[in-house]
Amino acid sequence: MWRGAYDRQTLNAILDGAYARHLAFASDRGAYGIPMACWRDGDCL
């Protein structure tokens, strides 16, 4: 089951909730997770 949130208020709350994030994806060669540090400044990430 795929889940997602697309409204701005929910996305901003997720982005503001933690300093470290992980970008995860899967391909035919395996699953990958990339740690990232980012923050939100107004509408910019």
DSSP E strand stretches across 1-45? 20-27, 30-37
One-letter identity of residue 1: M
- pTM beyond 0.85: the answer is no
Classify 12 as helix, strand or coil: helix
User: Please, which residues bridge with residue 31 across strands?
Assistant: 26
pLDDT band of residue 40 (cuts 50, 70, 90) is confident
Q: For the chain, what is the largest distance between any 2 Cα atoms, rounded to a whole number of angstroms?
A: 37
pLDDT tens-digit readout, 12-29: 898 888 888 888 999 999
